[in-house]
Each structure stands twice: as structure tokens, then as C-alpha cells.
Structure 1
Amino acid sequence: MSATSQSATSHSLGPPAARANPTPWLLVGPGSLFFLGLVVLPLVLTVILSFHVYDHTTGIKNEFTLAHYIAVFSDDYYLGTFWRTLRLAFLTTLICAVIGAPEAYILSRMRDPWRSVFLLVIIGPLLVSVVVRAFGWSMLLGSTGLVNQTLQALGLGTVKLLYTETAIVIALVHVMLPFMVIPVWTALQKLDPMVEAAALTLGASHFTALRRVVMPQVSLGMLSGSLIVFGLSASAFAIPGLLGGRRLKMAATLVYDEYMHELNWPLGAAIAIIVLAANLAIMLAYNRMVEARARRTLG
């Protein structure tokens, strides 16, 4: 066979099939199995459990029903608890954004060693257990706590703070504030300070420079922080349980009561799945809204 025919034959057969590289699969495999085993599988089992029939005399039956979801959506008690959970989570996120964004901006303008000192102060609450922090706030906000003692010393009388929504929001803001400051501060680290200086040089006021130059750049950082704070606040358990008492229920404490006190696991699973779906819907909608605005602003 001539060289020309051999070349034509090799071109007709095409290049040899590339061998699949197993390295990416080997690297991703352990993490994927870990995620499937600890996240996806429990969620699937919880969804299945939420459709099981529960009898107070015999327990969980191997029968399927929609009664738990119907009971949740038709009972004002559950709907009121869901509304309180979302409302307090939104209020906590808003306060963290109002406090955290300026705090991150000031932190980004600091120089060492003060930057390191204040960064340690910001992330310091994360080094303490949330239960310890909740007990600390219960002692501060109690009827004989430091806050009421100070108000009495000023002649303002005693204010009921413990076992109120105000106490829950205060403690949640204290716990969640680092999760807002760190993403915004990270976004500010990528911003060239000369851009803001150029805006000031061209005649813009400090407020205009912050609004037109700095804020669009850190919007994605605020988005990340807001999603983290909202998700953690809506699913918080220790703080609402210790500072809200038995009267002010939130979604996590409601699920705990159904599982541990009422032993109605299917109803508790249904409540947990509804809260998860509501959180995902709100967070995805907020994500799309902020990203669309950032695209319009940044081009």
C-alpha cells in the first residue's frame, strides 16, 4: 500500500478516541459521596417521612397521606409561626446590612495593626458557643439584668426585654453580624481605592462616591452576606428557644417540639420541609433580583 493510501486511510478513520481521565472523578468522588450521604439522603428521608400517617396510639404507620401539609397550611398557629420566623429573619438581615456594611467599609480603610485588632473583635463572637452567647444575653436583658439596672439608675423604670421578639433580634444580630461583615469586607478588598479617589477628584461628594462607585462594587458581597444571615436566622434554634421562651415559637423550635415532645415525627418533618422550601424560594428570588441589578449597574 502506498504512503498516499495509508494517509487517506488514517484520515478516514479519524483520530484515536481520547481516553477518559479518571483523575477529576477520583477527586470529586469523596466529596460527592459525603454530600449525598449527609445532605441529600437525610432530606429525601425527611420528605418521605412527612407523608407518613401518624397515630397517637400506635405511632408512625406505613401509609401515605397529605394530612400533615393540609394541617400546617390550614392552621393559623403554624402560619403565624412561619410569618414570625421570616419576619424576624428579614429584620435581622436588614439590621446586619445597615450595621455591617459601614463597619466593613471602615475596617477596609484601617491600617495594621488596628485592622487586625478590630477584625478579631468582629469575628470574636464566632469563637464562643451560641448557647453561651444566648445565656449571656438572657442575663443582660432579664428583669434584674444590666440593661434594666442601667435604666432604673437613669430613672426610666424597668422594660420587659427577655422573652420578646426584641431580645431574639438583638441576639441574632450579635451572632450573625460577622457573616455580613466578612463578605462585604472581602469585596471591598478587591476595590481599587484610587477609583473612589478619582470620583472625589472629579467633584463627586463622599455620599455620591459611596453610592455610585463603592456600593455597586460590594453589592455581590452584601448579597452573599444577606443570604447567609437570612438562612441562618430563619433556621436558628438556640437563641429563639432560650430568649423567646415557650410562648414565642419559631420554625426550628416548632420542629423540635413536634419531634421531641409530641413525638409526631411526620408533622415535624412536614414543617421542616415547608420552611426549607420557603427559605429556598425567598433566597433564590432575592439572589436573582440583586444579580440582575448588579448586571444593570456594572454592565
Structure 2
Amino acid sequence: MSRGYLLSAPALALFVGLLIVPLGLTLVLSFNLFDYEVGVKSDSYTLANYAALLSDGYFYEIFWRTFWISALVTLLCVVIGVPEAYILSRMGTPWRSIFLILILTPLLISVVVRAFGWSLLLGADGLINQAIAALGGRPLKMLYTPFAVILALVHVMLPFMIIPVWTSLQKLDPAAEQAAQSLGASQAKVMRLVVLPQIMPGVLSGTLIVFGLAASSFAIPGLLGGRRLKMVATVVYDQYLSELNWPMGATIAVALLLANLLIMLSWNRLVEGRYKKALGE
């Protein structure tokens, strides 16, 4: 037993040093008093930052926008990613490896680079509007809108949905599908009653990853949403570097973390309950 603890000590120290300690310091900072004349008062503590957060409708709007965009991105990733993972799992060699590499390749490119690529496509003088103008249409305003942010987030987050679902599909016995079809079940019924219940752990993992990453995303909302389409991460950035109000930025960050945990734990409980019920447990 002691040997197991000894072997896990480096990983535990890394976890504590890189996650627990920074989160703890952020939590403490959120209670510090801030004065625009002298800055952060590390020896003074107050609940005023949380009171300001809970009493200002501006922050409610920001959090609502962040969560509905994240939820829509997660839904689109499920709708696109689950069928794509199913098709990928049914491919033979070498096509499976080729398409798996194509799915994973975007992860090798910086999110900032991909965001700039989308801005070149969606801008007022971008390739899409140039094509529309060439066809005689009027240019569309796509950049600095929720549409641009959602589109880019789906592009970035899709691999994080496909991989967990594809992993779950690897454990699925194709004979179960064939048996259901031999008993007269349609393909749609096989997918709904045989395949989907068994890949729900992968779907659950993918939705949690995608939602968490989308809700805390900074680069894409910052570059494609602009100064007017704020999300929580960009507001935290503004509080830290523009307003220099570090305690308020820490307060918003802590609120985002808690809200994320509440939503994700509730979703995990709901989906796991349905999964166990579908399997008759």
C-alpha cells in the first residue's frame, strides 16, 4: 500500500502544485478588497465582489450567453460527431486510419491560428462574402456574431466528441446489431435500442469535455466575437488586464468554475441514470 502511495506521489504533487494551489490562490484573491488608487489590498477581505456579481444584470447576461452558446455547441457536436464516429468505426483499413488522422490533425494547429482562419473566411471582405458578391448577392455580417463563435467552436471541439464515442464503439460487438436486424428490427431501431444505450458513456464523456472547454474558451470568443460579444472568459481577461481589478476577475472565474461544475455534475447524474435504466440495472 505504501509503495502505491509512493509511486503516485509525483503525480499528486504535480496535481496539487498546478491545479489545487492556483485555484486556492484565486479563491482567496476573489475575497480581497480592490481600490483603483492603491490596487489590490491583500490584507483586506470582503464579500463585495460577489455581491456586485450577483446584483449586476450585465454579468447575468454574460453568463447566460456563455452557457447557451456552449450548450448549442455541445448539441451540434453530438449531432455531427456521433454519426461520424459510427461511420469511422465501421470503416476498414486503411480508410479508418486515414480519416482518424484527418480528424486529429486540427488538434496539432493552434486555436488562435484556426480562429484567424475563420476570420479570413467570415469577414466582410472574406472569401465567403466575396463569393456571395460574385454571385450578385449582398455581403452578410458573419464576423463578430454568435454564428461565427459557434461555428468556430464546433470546428475546434468536434474531435473531443468523436474520440470518446469512437472508443465506446470499439467495445460494441457488431454481432449484437446483426442479431437485432435478424429479428426484424429496422436500422433506426437498432441504433436507438442497441447502439445508442451502449455508447452513452462515450457520449457523456464527450458532452462534458466539449461543454467545459466551450464555456471556458477565450481565444475564439475574443477573436471572432469581438469587443461587443462578450463571454465569461473575455470578461475575466478584461478585469485582469484592462481594469486591473484582479479580485473581480478572480470572482468571475470562481463563479464560472462553480457554475460549470454544477451543470456538468447535474448532466452527468441525469445521463447516467438514463443509461442504467436503459440497460435494466
Structure with the greater alpha carbon radius of gyration: 1
Q: Is 1:256–2:247 an aligned residue pair?
A: no
Equivalent-residue separation in structure 1 for 2:90 and 2:134 (angstroms): 38
Q: What does residue 203 of structure 2 align with?
A: 222
- Which residue of 43, 46, 54 corresponds with 2:26? 46
Distance 1:237 1:228 in 2: 16
**For 1:150, which of 131, 153, 160 is the aligned residue?**
131
1:124 aligns with 2:108: no
CA distance in 1, matches of 2:129, 2:89: 36
Q: Residue 59 of structure 1 is aligned with which of 9, 25, 39?
A: 39
- 2:141 paired residue among 160, 165, 183: 160
Residue equivalent to 2:2: 22
Partner of 1:104: 85
Q: Which amino acid aligns with 1:257?
A: D
Residue 150 (structure 1) shift: 2.1
Shift in Å at residue 285 of structure 1? Answer: 0.3
Three-state SS of the structure 2 residue aligned to 1:248 is coil
Partner of residue 252, structure 2: 271
Q: Quick one: which amino acid aligns to residue 178 of structure 1?
A: P
SS of the aligned residue for 2:139 comes to coil
1:282 pairs, out of 263, 267, 276, with 263
Quote the residue 1:176 is aligned against. Answer: 157
Q: Give the counterpart of 1:238 among 212, 219, 235.
A: 219
Q: Distance in 1 between matches of 2:85 and 2:71?
A: 20
Pairwise CA RMSD: 0.8
Q: 2:61 is matched with which residue?
A: 80
The amino acid across from 2:255 in the alignment is I
> Aligned to 1:92, which of 61, 73, 81?
73
- In 2, Cα distance between the equivalents of 1:271 and 1:257? 11
Number of residue pairs matched?
279
CA separation in 2, counterparts of 1:83 and 1:115? Answer: 39
Q: Which amino acid aligns with 1:115?
A: R
1:143-197: CA deviations, max 9, x gaps? Answer: 1111112222333321100000100000000000000000000000000001001
Structure 1 residues 22-77: Cα deviation after superposition (integer angstroms, max 9, x where no partner): 21111111111111111001111111110011000011112111111111111111
The code of the aligned residue for 1:215 comes to L
- Of 6, 15, 19, 1:35 maps to 15
Q: For 1:150, what is the secondary structure of its paired residue?
A: helix
| TM-score, length basis structure 1 | 0.92
SS for the counterpart of 1:71 is helix
Q: Runs ≥4 in structure 1, deviation > 4 angstroms?
A: none
Q: Share of identical aligned residues, percent?
A: 59
C-alpha separation in 1, matches of 2:202 and 2:156: 18
User: What's the offset of the Cα at 1:273?
Assistant: 0.2
What is the identity, as a one-letter code, of the residue corresponding to 2:229?
L
